[in-house]
Structure 1
Amino acid sequence: MDADDALFRLAPDHYRARADAEQLYRSVSQRLIRLLPTGSEIMHVGATAIANCLTKGDLDIMVRVDPNEFAEAEQALASLFARSRSDPADGFAGFEDASASPHLGIQLVARGGAFDMFEKFRDRLNASPALLREYNALKRDHDGAAMEAYRSAKDRFIARTLRY
């Protein structure tokens, strides 16, 4: 990890970042449909899936599967992608492709499990201009700051947003 990886940086052009993420989403989702169990749901989540949300320019995809298909889906994703920095937990596994442009993160969640909340968070921000303004302010406040500090503030914001 170089020094820049330890900092949170907003994309200089959010419209371009959103377009790049959407293009990659279309490509990756087609690969995932062929790879994953039939009932899997594949969704574009994260900042590039939220209208007018500031972004660092990466793509986040959530894959939701039935709990009894989680192990199969996890193996399938592990065959193509590196595990992300988060540790696999019951009902959640993170994957990434740092060589993708933009950077790709995939969150595998068990349907109805504790981590099945990425879609809910995205939808809450898309439905609430006030929450979106607050989230964008949080991002602006952390632009150029330590990634760890940004993630901590973001985690608190997500927890509060999901309680509504």
Structure 2
Amino acid sequence: MAASPAPVRAPTTTPPAREPAAPTRLRVPAMDLDAPVVPVGVAADGQMEVPGRISEIGWYRFGAAPGSPAGSAVLAGHVDDRVQGKGAFADLGALRPGDEVGVGTGDGVGTGNGVVTYRVREVRSFAKEALPVDDLFRETGPPRLVLVTCDGPFDRAARSYRDNLVVVADPVPGAR
């Protein structure tokens, strides 16, 4: 009598789920923006870090990644800098509901060679002290992309802008 082969798990028709890859680029046609995205964390003051190079956009690596099934993927960038000039998010306020935003993930998964596409739902300015941080950085609920930069008048004494501009975008159906 021949030995029977070792048991194997039955094949499935769907591949196992994998975590979305970190974002690598942000493309916003309405702003003529194509900028690199780098992972960032938390600064010494407890706020989200922002890249030192104003041509880069920071992705909050402790939150959701673009393409995640739930939560906010948060990206932040500069408006400008006295030395470096115009920042990647200088024209973020020009976005309007319906504009598309593409986040390149570099993993070849998504709706177009590793691009997760979102459609802008809301563009809104908040006083920094009124910024709804818990909502913007939520880890549950429907997936979304949140873009954040400075806004409003520049306070020379504080050396910062008074407000924050927030863009919220929802995944386009068919995106991962």
When normalised by structure 2's length, the TM-score is 0.27
Determine which structure has more spread, i.e. the larger CA radius of gyration. Answer: 2
Q: Which has the higher strand share?
A: 2
Give the number of the structure with larger relative contact order, counting CA–CA contacts within 8 Å between residues 6 or more apart.
1
